[in-house]
Structure formats: structure tokens, C-alpha cells
Structure 1
Amino acid sequence: MAWRDGKASSRKLVLFMASIILGIAAVVSIQSFGVNLKENIALQSKAMMGADFKIDMEDPPEPEILEIMDSLGGAQAKEIGFVSMAAFPGNQGTKLVRVRGIAGSFPFYGDLETDPPQAAKDWNQKDVALLDATTMLQLDLKPGDSIKIGAVTLPIAGALVNIPGSNSFFSSIAPPALIPYRLIEATGLIQTGSRIDYEFYFKADPAMDLEKLDTDLDPVLDTFDADLDTHTSTSERLGRRYENFGKFLNLVAFIALLLGCVGIASAINIYIKGKLRSVAVLKCLGATKKQSFLIYLLQISGMGFFGGLIGTITGLLLQQLFPYLLEDLLPVDIQMSFSLEVIIMGLLLGILMSVLFALIPLTGTLYISPLQALRVQKYAGKKKGKTELGILGGIFLFILLFSFWLLKDWRYSFGFVFGIIITFSILAGLAKVFIKMIRRYFPTTWGFPARQSLQNLFRPQNQTLTLVLAIGVGTFLISTLYFTKDILLAQASIDAQGNSPNMILLDVQTGQESQVSEVISTSGNRVLDDIPIVTMRVQSIEGRNVNEIRQDSASNINGWILSHEFRVTYRDNLIDSEVLAQGEWIPRVKDRDLIPISVSDNFAEDAEVEIGDAISFNVQGVIMNTEVRSIRTVDWSRLQPNFSIVFPAGILEEAPQFRVITAKVQDETASADLQQELVKLFPNISILDLRQILSVVEDILNKIAWLINFMAFFSIFTGIIVLLGAVRTSKFQRIKESVLLRTMGARSGQILKILALEYLYLGLLGGLSGILLSLISSQLLAWLLFNAPFAPSLFPFLVLFPAITLLVMLIGLTNSISVIKSPPLEVLRKENNG
């Protein structure tokens, strides 16, 4: 019976199966890609690091660390790395690069890829350099051209296509330049304040337990300010980083699926209402409540199964596009495969979501009396009300459990479910308020088409609520994504703030600052700040030595506080990016016995210190005792030097230090000319051109936003499918209206105008609701999460809103045009026969 009845009604349900297909395709594609990415990172973890494990530090290794490395068999390769400006004498160009001086046969795994290939074989035995391939293209360099790093000038042997251990994002800002280890000292760039990384690479014995090595050795190395990284721990950390991004995309896809389920519930509601007389007739013929219920439950389950099957296949095919879409953001080359777990999930999800969201209208068949075959009567009652509450509870429990499976965190899962409830409730509430306002303040003076189109919004079996939800959620998602991207870009914008620097000069040595400032001023640019920086480490907190705190398993002080080498400044005033949160700002002191300092709120939280607590610092062998006298809130998002710790003036002036100079440069041409001049005169200085950094950040944000928008459009497409299905399902209702109106003398043009206005109202209401809701959510994100001003993008208003409104009108009219053109009796015969 389920099969026979389903075949006769297949046209009414096929579009709603399409909404399930789209939602499941979105979830399956993201899930499957996430599984593949995790597996590929694990498989290629050695090639990404280039070794089994490494030991790294920021200072030359102490004798104790050398002994530990000897006990491990000794490092098979070593590296000194730092960021510096490189000059290219052949074309007068300059570039901030990551200098990597390597000795030994690194990498042990993976390939050092160069162009030409032979450059990778013997570069380390010659006095040559390898330079990032993209940089060579940008600066029009060829093998044989020269690169000048500090006091050393070397020929470029080849373009560096790939090397293990490079971070793709950082390489965009400071691309790698490889030189032999023995030439590092000759550059003259290892000076006071320079941030140097010392790395030692190891190839482990196959029997070595790297996890045990990490557990046992890493705490020992921490006491000497060194760190151990194994290829497995690095891959796990990298996997978690990309997993968080995947979780967000999963939620976007899941919302598309939920939206499709709203369409399913609406479709089944109208579908079952049309079947009530058939159910009543079946009961007159002796069918039980259970039998009539199972007939339609089997139909919905079958629809869910086939929707899940087609959606899963579509999702598995769709995932093949992701490596191309994310090519520049992925840490490894992805070899795609199919996960059995994800396939089973897609199939089960199709059945579960279809059945769950169809249960409320399906329960209506249980309460139909045989008398329904003779007259129309309501079938609601107390029992049905309790059943519906139970089903709603089951739906939200399933959403909670499934979101937990995606996020692996109950707090986020409850937050997601709460956000879904709030979003859907607000959109539904707006639709109901709109309908109530129309009824209360009905424009009786309007013309007939306008009045009739408004009345259609609250007629029996209307689709106003479903369509507003479908259109609103899709619009809300895409608008929020655009607004959020604008917030992030506005935070990073350096041109929006007239007094913000767009160039930062690092590692300016004492005595050079006046000459550097003069060069900047002479070139017609403006020096903004000359900031002194002193390096130091925490020696003790509240009288407890850092080694004692490390060994205390009950301590909650964050590890970075104990091992970090802090870059600290001194001054007598707060700056624009700081706000005094607690305590008293002390501008200048003379007494060195107990120095009042100011710390950032995140330092205070991680170090568990308050106003009045004592902290001792080791300032390059000299112990300084300080007291926390103020706590500042720092806007770290601003592209300018900010500090966790600030000393008052009068204390650190004689300490070994270097300077950071910030400048405001007129334009890109002036920036290039100034960089060439500074690198020629001061090769030790590293220059950050914030315009270049911003362009890299913006490019990455645009790529991520493109992918997120791609997933968000699943919601829009699902909403379109729901819209198509809702129009088709309520088509018979419109046919009766059309026949009645035409019998009363209405012309086809008037009926077309009525329908066009009705869909215009639905598009306007759904689109506007979604955009307004996204404005509120984006403002909250700006306040609570990003702590930044919010300036809405015009794209949702000028493009998205009118496009969705026109799309709704087009779909509505396209589906209704056949009803308008055909004679009333012909249409009725077709519907009755169908």
C-alpha cells in the first residue's frame, strides 16, 4: 500500500527529497574531506617535518642539552634560522626572508625540490643560496643572480619549490632562503635582540617509542628553555588546527540539512492533510491505526533512504573539488579516498532526519476517525499535544547529539543548539508578527490584487512560515559570513587609521636609531615611534622559582610564562591600543629595589598574578625585583608593537637593548625605495611592510570566505528547493483559488499580479529578516569576540537581498504560470486525474 500510494504521489515529494540530498551532500563532503585530510597529515607527518623529531630553542644549546642530544645518538642535521632583509644587487630589489642555515643531510624524509633539480643535490657544499620560487618570479630573478644577506653575497643556485618545515602562511610573508650553515656567522646578523632559532634534527631508530620520548624528555628540556617536537605530535597539532575549521564548515552544512528538514516537515504536513480522507476510508475498511501510520512512515523512510543514498554519492563526488579549492591553505597533498564510516553516516542521517521531522504531521494519522471520510473535523487533542512535545524533544536531542559528534565538546554543542533555536524562533516570530500586523492593519484601500496577495499569506495551508525560515536562514548565514569577514579585514586595515604605522623596522641596534630616523624623514616619510626593547625571562613569581613552579603538578600557571623570552619596553605613558583596567599607572621611578610594572590582562591571567604581586626577572644575568602595580587591556589585533610587560621610565635605559622604529610611508613606491636605502645602509635591520602582510592576510581570508560561502550557498539552494516544493505542494490550493477568481471574473493578468506580489512579500520578508538578524549577530561578534568596530558590508543589501527576492518571485511565478494559462475545467481534470 505504501508503494502504490507513494508512486501516485511521487511528484509531490521528489523536491523535498532533493532538499535532503543537498543537506546530506554538504555534510558528507565536509566529513569525508576532514577524514581524508587527517589521514594524509598522519601519513605525511615525517615528510612535513623532514625528520622523526627535533629539538629547538631560542639560544645556543647549553652543555646539558648537548649531553641529552649525545645520549640520543647526536643530531644528524642542524639549522640556524632567523628573519632578515635580503637585497638583490642585480635589480635593486629587497625582500623580508626567513634565512635557514642548514648543515647535514636534511631533510631525511620528503624532498628538497628545486628548479633546476640538480641545485638540491650539492648546494650545501658550495657557497650558494636557494631562494623561494614565488619570490624569484615576483622579483624577476634567475639562477645565477645574487642575493645579499647581511655582509654575505651569494649566487642563487636555484628556485626553492618545496622544503619540509616551512609554514605556508609565514612563507607568504617571509619566504625561505637557504644558505650553508657555515656562512651564518659571516652574515653578521646574529646580534643583541635578534630572534634566532636553533634546531637539531634526528632520525630515530625504528624501535624508538616517540610518544614515550615526548612524555619523558619534553619536561626535562623545558627546564632549559628548549622544546622537543616529534613528527606525530606535530601532525596531531596541525590536524587539530584544520579540524576546527572543518567543524565550522560541518555546522554550516548541518544547518543546510536542518533547513531541508524544515521543508520535509512542511511538505509532509500538507501531504498528510491531503491524505486524511484516504486514511479515514482505510479505517472504514478495517485498517488499524498502526497500519495506516506505517503506510506513510514507510513512504517517508524510503524517501529518506534514497535521499541519503543520492546525497552521500553527491557528497563523495563533491569532496574531490576541495583539494583544488583549498590548494594554497592545505599543509599536505591530499589523496582522496572513501570512508565507510562517512557513507554509513550519510545513509542513516537521511532516514533519521526524514523520519524525525515528519513524525509530527505523521502522528495526525493516528487520531483520524472513520467519520473523516464523511465530514471534515479536527483531529487535535491532548494526546496528540503530548506526542508532539515528545517528538520535539527527540528532534532537539538528536540535533544535540549529532552536533556533539561533530564538535566533540558539550559546551559548543549546547551553544549551537541554543543558537539554532534562537535563530529559527526569531525568524518564525517575525513571520507571525508580520501576518498578525497585516490582519490587524489590513490596507482596505489598496487595489484588489494587492489586497488578495496579502490575504494569501495567511490563508489555509499557506507556506509563509516555511518559506520565511528557508529564505531567512540562508540569507542570515551568507550575510553573517560577509559581515564577519569585513570585521576581520577592518581590524587588520592599516589605512583606516591615520596614525597607525604601515612599516615596522626591527633589530635596530643602539646607536643606529637616530641615523635610521633621519633616513626615513629625509625620504619624505614620517617616523611615528622609536621603541626601546629589552629581552628578559621570568625568574620567580611570588617568591617561587620557575623551576619549582614547573615541577609543581598542581600549578595552573601557563607554561609560556615560565619559558618565554619576553620583549619588554619602558615608557612613561599609555598608548592608543591600551586601556588601564586595574591599579595605578606609574610613569617614572628612580628606586630600583622594587620596581612597579604594568602587565597585560592576558599575562596576569596566565601567570595568576594580581595587583601587588611580586615578579622577579632575569635581565641578561641581572635579577630585577618588580611589583605588579597596574593591569592593562591591550588590543593585540592592531598592527603595531604591543607589549605584555611595560617598565616605567628611569630603570632600563642602561640595559642592553635594541630598538623598534615604526613609520608611516606614503605609498608602495615610497616603501620600496625606502626599503632599498635602509637595507643598503643597515643590513642588520628587518623591515615589516604591513601593506604586504595585509594583502597576504586578506588573500587568505578571501579564500576561506569563498569556501565558507560555497557551503553557505547549500543553505540557499536548499531554501530554493524547499520553496519549489512548497509552491508545488500547495499548488492545488492555488488552483482552486485561481478557478474561483476566474469564475468571478478575474483576468489572468490580475491573478499573475496577485501571485507576483505574494512572492515579493515572501522574498522581502525572508531576505530582510535574515539580513537584520545577521546584523545583530555580527554586532555581537564584533563586541564580544573581536572587540572591534562593526561597519556592515553593502553586498548583502545591494546584491544578496534583491537577488533572493527576485529569485523567490521567479520560482513562484514559474511554478504557477501553467495554472493561469489553462482553462479552469482542464486544470481541475488534470489535478483530479493526477
Structure 2
Amino acid sequence: MAWRDAKASRVRLLLFMASIILGIAAVVSIQLFSTNLKENIYIQSKALMGADYIIDTRQVPTERAKVIIDSLKPDASEVNFVSMIAFPKNGGTKLVKVRGLDGDFPFYGTIDTEPSSAADTYQKSGGALVDATLLLQFNVKPGDSIKIGELVLPIAGTLNAIPGSTAVSSSVAPPIIIPYRFIKNTELLQFGSRKEYQFFYKASDTLNLDTLEKKLQPMLEAENADLDTHTSTSRRLGQRYDNVGKFLNLAAFIALLLGCIGIASSVHIYIKEKLRAIAVLKCMGASRRQSFLIFLVQIAGIGIVGGLIGALIGIGLQGLFPYLLQEFLPFTVTVNISAQPIIIGVFLGLFMSVLFALLPLLRTWYVSPLEVLRVDEQAAQEPMKVRLIVFSTILIFLFLFSFWLLNSAIYALVFVLASLITFAVLAGVALLSIRSIRRFFPKSWSFTARQSLLNLFRPNNQTVVLVVAIGLGTFLISTLYFTKDILLTKSEIDTTENANMIILDVQTGQRDALEEMIKAQGLPVLDNIPLVTMRMHSIKGQLVNELRQDTTKQIKRWVLNHEFRSTYRDSITSSEELIEGEWTPELKAGDPVVISLSDNLALDINVGVGDAIVFNIQGVLMETTIGSIRKVDWRQLKPNFAIVFPKGVLEEAPQFNVMATNVSDEKRSADLQRDLVAKFPNVSIIDLRQVFTIVEDILDKVTWIINFMAFFSILTGIIVLIGSVRTSKYQRIKESVLLRTLGAKNTQILKISALEYLFLGLLGSLVGILLALVSSLCLALFVFKEPFAPSIIPFVVFLPGITLLIMAIGLSNIRTVLKSSPLAVLRREG
């Protein structure tokens, strides 16, 4: 019976199936990719680092740190720093990351070069390996030379890849590999230079890296050094990409939830039509169990087949993700197909289809044989207790599934509550509309208008079901769209600042000459910021060394080991806002020293206005008091500082400067960089226009990924709407045929249907968008903590678009009525 009835209703059942296929495909593809990503991270963790573990420090190792480093016998070492380099062939200059290597690094993975032999011979030949993109950009090739500070080296080969580099970091500062022994000859490591020393180790098979990390990490942290193992790196990478996976999973879950809403609304209408046939079956001796199983088998079959088709589509789609995310991954993801996500897809298709269709399916259990004789066609109602059990099961499943995807009970609970409130509001609005129309029925309107309004509350009306389906679908789609805008706005960069070139590491003796050189080319000096390096000696009277040993203190450990680069000035910049205390512009000799902290630093060290901090400034202790706290917009690409001193305090301290200027075009930028590097090889120059281009390119890719996932939800929502409205055609055909029999014209029938679906589409989509506006505002204020500027797109595109779509589907429902005779239509539909 299930098979026979399904063949007769195959068009409607295919629409049910289409509702969940895309949702299953999205979930399976993302789950497969996440599984592959985790496996690749675990397998390639050694190759990502090039070693089993690394000890690194951002200063020359202290005596105690050197003892620890030497006792472990490093197999290779490196010093790296960011600097400007020049190509003597054409005078080109570029900011790069110079890596001086000593030893047989990497131990795992390879240095990919052209020619391939260059990776093995550059140490002996004394050449440099230069990033491939850099060589193409400046039209140089192996055999040409490169100038790094005071050192000129031949280019031994093209560098394609090396462990520890990503596409994003290489695009900002491309890597240059040279032998360690030549670093001193560059004369670039001067006072204030940012540098990093790394020591690479190859561990024996018996060494437990987690135990080694627990034992040595506290000792190394006390010496401002750090230990990193390939196992901890793989865990950290996994956590980093978990956040991406959570968003993608949530988008996929919304698509799946939309499909389930489509199943529920379509099955509700479908079963209402079958109640008379079920009553006939019971008159002929069919049991409750048999009548229930007939339709349960249908829905279960739809779920299994839909889940299987969705899983197969998901297998094909997951191959796109390595391509979409290749810019953000430090390795190439090998795609393998595992059984678990496919089983999950089929199980979800079966379980969610049956679960969301269970309530209308249960009505078949309570159908009485007397339904054959009843004229009012009112559907039998299941007991309230049964409804509550089904609703509770759905809510529990939604919570557990959301918790599994988001790994946060609070977020999962909020998501379920928001969906429940939305459902209740939409159902309430639909019921209120029905009552309002019935109470204030416009009796003076035309026949077609009155007939369309009567359809909204007469027996077998579909107002509540369609308004809930349309509204909930529009709500989820619009919420995803608004959330996408919040995410992308949060990632935007501010390119309105005047300065578009920053010059770093300017020594005190170079400051005046460099400033004159900039002005001599007709360019302004927009910023000339002094930087003083310092460390914290004590916080609120407690020594930093004591705080390192105290695990109960609410102080972030990074602060205790960090070397701060601070500045002094008499005013607040455009990227700062004073939120507490009073700003002190300048101090006189002998005045107590008051400073200003950023809000995030104050939070990390648990201090406020009036608390005392003692700094170690190049061996000199300075007592200070917090006078103010600032909110800093760190997203702005300009020099921002966690610690700011007033004028009159640090002028005589050892320091270096950061300068900023504005260059009008690429030629003047290249000329200035060439002249500065030729005279001051130690300075580093950041051309912000290049950085803007790189960041905007990354944001374009992020936007594409978010829109790609939003597409799943929008397309699924449209299919749900088509399925829900299309299914309702079988209720309206009989009425339209009777109207034609009584003499109604085709234009009158069209107007009646158009007005009915216009009201349903407009009401459902408008309420859905308004609810999405409220939910997105809450997300912006409480989750993302960003100002919310809603897009007008949902109102000018989604609202009329969904309404017109509903009207078009609704009018297509009565096409057969208009083209055929009433008797032929009744026979065909019967």
C-alpha cells in the first residue's frame, strides 16, 4: 500500500525529498572535509614544523636558557627577522622575512626549490633561496644577486615552499633563506631590531613530547623562551580551524533545518488529504497500526533515499573545500572518503524526516471510520499529551545536534530558543490574522477579494502552515544574511587614513637624516613615533618572578614574559578612545609618572586606574601609576600601543622610531624605498597599499566562502517554499473546479488565488524578516559586540521576491483547472 500510494503521489514525495537533499549534502560535505582536515593535520604535523620540537626566543638566549638549549643538543638552528632587501639588477626593493639557517633543516618534509639541488647546495655555495613570487615580481632569476643589508649574495635557487610558511604570511613578507653564518655580515641586527632565534630538534622514538613540554615549558617561560612540539602544533591548528568548521556546520544545519520544516509543513497538508482514504481503509478492517505504517514507510523511504542522495552530493562537494580554503591552510589537504559522515547523512535523512513528520503522521492513528461520513472534513486531533511528547523530542534533538555542531551548550540553547520563539510568533501572527479577518470581514469588497479572504479561514485552510513555513524559512535565510554582513563588517579594514607607507626600526642617529630625505622628495612626514622597549618588573607590588610561580593569580602569562614596545606623546590618536581616568599629556621633572594602558592589557593583568606598575627599561627600574585606560581599535593598520607614557619621561631612554608618510603613486613609492634602503639598509618599509591589496583579497575569499554556504540555505528555503505551496494545490483544485462549474471566469479564479497567496507570502516573509532583524541585532550586540547596521537587501529583495515566488507557485497550482474541463480535472486528480 505504501508503494502504490507513493507511485500515485510521486511528484509531491519528490518535492519532500528535495527539501532535505541539499541540507544533508551540506552537512556531509563539511563533516567529510573536517574529518580529512583533522587527519591531515595529525599526519603532517611533523612536516608542518620540519622538526619534532622547537625552542624559540625573541632575544639572545639568556645563560640559563642557553644551558637548557645546549643540553638537548639542537640538530639545527635559525635566526629570522623582517627586513628590506634590494635587487641590484633593477633597483627593486621589498619587505621580506630573512631566515638564516644552520644545520640539516628540515628533518621532515622538504625545502621545495628550483632547481631541486639548490636546497642541498645553498649552504656550501653561500647562496640565497628567494621566494618564487618575489623573483617573478622583480624579473630576476637564479644567478642574479640580492642585497640584504650590507651583504650581497648570489641567488642559488627559487624557493617554492618550506615548512613553517603559509600562503598568507608569504604574501605579506616573502621568505628568503640564507646560511646562518652570513647573518652578522648583513649588519641588520641592531638595537630594537625584531628578531627570533629558533632551535630545531629531532626526537628519539622513546621520548614523550607531552612530558617534555610539561617539564621544560615553565623553566623556559621564566627565561622568555618557548617550547613548541609537533603534537601541540597539530592541536592548535585543529582548534584554529574548528571555528571555521563551526560556522560552516551551522550554515549547513540551517539548510537541513529548513528542509525539515518543508517536510513537516508538506506532510501536514499531504496527510490531511489522505484522512478520508484512511477512514475508508479502517471501514474495510485496516488496523491503526497498518494505516500508520503505510505513511511512515513512505516518509522513512523518502528520508533514506534523500539522505543517500544528499550524502553522495556531499562527497562531490567536499572536494571544493580544499580549493576554497587553500589560502588559509599551511599544507595541501588530501581528500579521503570515510564512512562515518555518509552514515551520519543517511541517518539524519531518516531520523529528521520521520521526527519532523511524526506529528501529522500520528493523526492517521486517531482517524475514525466515521470520517467517511462527516461533511466538515475536520481532521482528527491527537491527544495533547502526544503532541507534547513529539514537540519535546524535536526540541531535545535540536539542542543535542546544535550542541554537537557548536560545542557550546549556551549557544545551542539560544539557537533552539530562538527557533522556538520564532515558530510561536509566526503561528500566533497567523492565528491572529485569521481571527482579525473573520471578525472584521470586509463584506463590501468585490466577490474575488472576499473569496480569497474566505480561503484563509474556511475549513482545510493552509494559513497557519504556510505562514509558519514561509516565515521560518525567510527568518533563517535573512538571519544568515544579516549575520554574514556583521561578520564581513567586523573583518573590514580602514583605508581612509592618510599614511600609506610606514618606516620601521629607524635608529636615533638616523632620524633627522631620514626625515630630511623624505621631505626632499616633496613628501610629508605624517608620524615620527619614538619606541622604547621595556618589561614589567612588578605589578601592584608583586614581582613578576613571583607571579610566574603563582598559578592562582588572574594574570595572563604572556604579559609576564612580553617585551613591550611603548611610546610617549601628549595626545590621543584617532584609533583610541579614553574610557576611564584622565589623560596626562606631559610631566615636569620630579612629577610622579602616570601612564595610559589599553583596555585589553588592563584586563589581562587585572589592574585599574590608580594601580602601580614598575617597568624595567633597559636595566633601569621606573615606578609608574595607571592614570587612564583607553579602548584601542587594533584593526586599523597604523601604529597602536598598549602602553603610552606622557611627554617628559622617556626622551633620554634608548629608543628607535617609526615614521609614516603618504606616497601618491607606485613609482614614487618604489623610488623612495630604493633610496632609503640604499642609505639606511637596516630600516624596514611597509607599503600599506600592498598590504591593503593582500588583505582585501583574503576578505574577498572569506566573503565568497560565506556566500557559498548561504547559497545552500537560500536554495533549500526556496525548495521548501515550492514544496509547501505546491502541495497545497490539491486542496484548492476542487474549490476552483466548483467555481468554474458555477460559472466563474478564469480571470476571477486567477485573482482569487493570486490575492490569497499574495497575503500568505507577504505576511510570512515580512514577519520572518522582522524577526531576523531582532535576532541579528541581539547577535551583533551580545555575541559579536559590534554595531548593527542592517542591510536593506532582505526588504527590497527577499520580501518582494519570496512573495512573488509564492504567488507564482500558487497560480501554477490551478493551471490544470483553467486549461481543462471541470470533469476532466476531477477525473485526473482523482
The equivalent of 1:168 in structure 2 is 167
1:527, CA displacement in angstroms?
A: 2.6
**Which residue of structure 2 lines up, in the alignment, with residue 472 of structure 1?**
474
Give the drift of 1:401: 0.7
Paired AA for residue 12 in structure 1: R
| Count of paired positions | 826
- In the superposition, the TM-score normalised over structure 1's length comes to 0.92
* Comparing 191-200 and 152-161, the one that deviates more: 152-161
Corresponding residue for 1:697?
695
* More displaced stretch, 208-217 vs 148-157: 148-157
CA contact (8 A) 2:568 2:646 kept: yes
Counterpart contact for 2:275–2:379, Cα < 8 Å: no
Judging changes above 3 Å, is the alpha-carbon distance between structure 1 residues 727 and 795 closer, same or farther for their aligned structure 2 residues?
Answer: closer
Q: Which amino acid aligns with 1:657?
A: Q
Spell out, residue by residue over 1:687-734, the C-alpha distance to the aligned partner (whole angstroms, 9 max, x if none). 222222222222222212212222221112212221222233111223
The aligned amino acid for 1:609 is: V
Query: 1:9-50 CA distances to partner (integer Å, 9 max, x unpaired)?
Result: 333222111211211111111011101100001100111101
Q: Which amino acid aligns with 1:724?
A: I
CA separation of 1:31/1:816 partners in 2, compared to 1, >3 Å: closer, same or farther?
farther
Look up the match of 1:195.
Answer: 194
Does residue 559 (structure 1) correspond to residue 557 (structure 2)? The answer is yes
Would the alpha carbon gap of residues 291 and 106 (structure 1) be closer, same or farther in structure 2, given more than 3 Å must change? Answer: same
- Alpha-carbon deviation of 1:506? 1.4
1:94 maps to what in 2? Answer: 93
1:277–1:782 CA distance, 2 compared to 1 (3 A): closer
Instruction: Specify the alignment match of 2:708 in structure 1.
Output: 710
Runs of at least 4 residues of structure 1 off by over 6 A?
A: 429-451, 797-802
Amino acid at match of 1:315: G
Residues 9 and 800 of structure 1: CA distance in aligned 2, closer, same or farther (over 3 Å): closer
> Aligned partners of 1:342, 1:436: CA distance in 2, in Å?
47
Once the two structures are superposed, residues 738-789 of structure 1 have per-residue CA deviations (whole angstroms, 9 ceiling, x without a partner) of 3234334444455456555665666666666665555555555555566666
Aligned counterparts, 1:278-317, within 5 A: 278-317=277-316
Residues 790 and 696 (structure 1 numbering): CA distance in 2 closer, same or farther, change over 3 Å?
A: farther
Distance 1:11 1:807 in 2: 19
Alpha-carbon contact 2:615-2:621 (below 8 Å) kept: yes
Once the two structures are overlaid, the 10-residue window that deviates more, 721-730 or 557-566, is 721-730
Preserved CA contact (<8 Å) 2:310 2:345: yes
SS at match of 1:134: helix
Decide which of 602, 626, 629 is 1:628's aligned counterpart.
626
CA distance in 2, matches of 1:501, 1:174: 20
Name whichever of 297-306 and 792-801 sits farther off. 792-801
In the alignment, structure 2 segments of 5+ residues that lack a partner are: none
Greater CA deviation, 749-758 or 215-224? 749-758
Q: How far apart, CA to CA, are the structure 1 residues paired with 2:468 and 2:87? A: 63
Gaps of 5+ in 1: none
Q: Equivalents in 1 of 2:553, 2:325: separation in Å?
A: 41
Task: Provide the rounded CA distance (Å) in 2 between the counterparts of 1:672 and 1:443.
Answer: 76
Contact 2:587-2:649 at 8 Å conserved across structures: yes
Q: Compute the displacement of 1:535 (Å).
A: 0.8
Which is worse superposed, 699-708 or 38-47? 699-708
Cα contact 1:530–1:662 (8 A) shared by 2: yes
Cα deviation, residue 51, structure 1: 0.6
Q: Aligned to 1:44, what secondary structure does the other structure show?
A: helix
Quickly say closer, same or farther: Cα 1:77–1:806, change in 2 above 3 A. Answer: farther
In the alignment, does 2:510 pair up with 1:509?
no
Per mean C-alpha deviation after superposition, the further-off stretch among 398-407 and 629-638 is: 629-638
RMSD after superposition: 2.9
Could you tell me whether the CA contact under 8 Å between 2:526 and 2:660 is conserved in 1? yes
Change (3 A) 1:426 1:253: farther
Moved more, 369-378 or 458-467: 458-467
- Specify the code of the residue in structure 1 equivalent to 2:692: L
Q: Is the 8 A contact 1:535 1:568 kept in 2?
A: yes
Aligned to 1:484: 486
2:426 touches 2:472 (CA, 8 Å); kept in 1?
no
Partner of 1:29: 29
Which amino acid counterpart does residue 493 of structure 2 have in structure 1? A
Q: Shift in Å at residue 100 of structure 1? A: 0.9
CA–CA distance in 2 between the matches of 1:641 and 1:787? 24
State the partner residue of 2:674: 676
Contact kept, 8 Å, 1:500 with 1:640, in 2: the verdict is no
CA shift digits 1:90-109 (9 cap, x unpaired):
23322211111111111111
Residue pairs, 1:98-113, within 5 angstroms:
98-113=97-112
Shift of 1:255: 0.7
Task: Give the counterpart letter for 1:283 in structure 2.
Answer: K
Match status 1:730 vs 2:725: no
Match of 1:389 in 2: 388
Distance 1:793 1:727, change over 3 A: closer
1:514-663 equivalent positions in 2, closer than 5 A: 514-590=512-588, 594-663=592-661
8 Å CA contact 2:526, 2:661 repeated in 1:
yes
Query: 8 Å contact 1:487–1:782 — kept in the other structure?
Result: no
| Equivalent position SS for 2:648 | coil
SS of 2:597's partner is strand
Larger mean Cα displacement after TM superposition, 86-95 or 48-57: 86-95
For residues 582-601 of structure 1, the C-alpha deviation after alignment (integer angstroms, 9 at most, x for no partner) is 22222222456852221111
> How far apart, in 1, do the equivalents of 2:500 and 2:232 lie?
37
Moved more, 596-605 or 749-758: 749-758
2:336 match: 337
Give the distance between the partners of 2:746 and 2:83, measured in 1 at CA: 75
1:578 deviation in Å?
A: 1.9
CA 1:701–1:417 in 2, change beyond 3 Å: closer, same or farther? farther
SS of the equivalent of 1:69 reads: helix
Q: Contact 1:535 / 1:567 at 8 angstroms: preserved in 2?
A: yes
Contact 2:476/2:772, CA 8 A, preserved across alignment: no
* Whole-Å separation in 1 of the counterparts to 2:154 and 2:770: 59
One-letter identity of the residue aligned with 1:484: I
Displacement of 1:430 after TM fit? 6.5
For 1:455 and 1:366, how far apart are their aligned partners in 2?
30
Partner of 1:49: 49
The aligned amino acid for 2:173 is A
What SS does structure 2 have at the residue aligned with 1:506?
A: strand
Residue 182 of structure 1 and its aligned partner are, at CA, apart by 1.4
% of aligned pairs identical? 57
1:114 maps to 2:113:
yes
For residue 610 of structure 1, report the CA deviation from its aligned partner.
2.1
| SS of equivalent residue, structure 2 residue 158 | strand
Contact 2:28 2:314 in 1 (8 A): yes
Whole-angstrom CA distance in 1 between matches of 2:140 and 2:428: 63
Q: 2:737 aligns with which of 729, 736, 739?
A: 739
Asked if the contact 1:431–1:464 (Cα under 8 Å) also holds between the matched residues in 2, the reply is no
Whole-angstrom CA distance in 1 between matches of 2:427 and 2:158: 59
Where do residues 65-464 of structure 1 align in structure 2 (5 Å cutoff)?
Answer: 65-72=65-72, 74-375=73-374, 376=376, 378=378, 384-422=383-421, 460-462=461-463, 464=466
Q: What is the CA–CA distance in structure 2 between the aligned matches of 1:772 and 1:519, rounded to whole Å?
A: 59
CA distance in 2, matches of 1:521, 1:823: 89
Instruction: Answer whether contact 1:482 1:793 (CA < 8 A) is retained.
Output: no
Q: By how many angstroms is 1:307 displaced?
A: 1.9
Q: Distance in 1 between matches of 2:442 and 2:91?
A: 74
Specify the SS of the correspondent of 1:512.
Answer: helix
Q: Kindly indicate whether the alpha-carbon contact (under 8 Å) linking 2:55 and 2:199 is maintained by their aligned counterparts in 1.
A: yes
Asked if 1 retains the 8 angstrom alpha-carbon contact of 2:80 and 2:196, the reply is: yes
TM norm structure 2: 0.92
CA gap 1:532/1:781 in 2 versus in 1, 3 angstroms = farther
- Residues 797 and 134 of structure 1, relative CA distance in 2, 3 Å threshold: farther
Distance 1:514 1:421 in 2: 67
Amino acid at match of 1:688: I
* Local SS of the residue matching 2:328: coil
Structure 1 residues 691 and 611 mapped into 2: Cα distance closer, same or farther (>3 Å)? Answer: same
Deviation, 1:549, is: 1.4
Letter in 1 for 2:489: I
Report SS of the residue matched to 1:190. Answer: coil
Contact 1:596/1:626, CA 8 A, preserved across alignment: yes
- CA gap of 1:819–1:603, structure 2 versus 1, over 3 A, is same
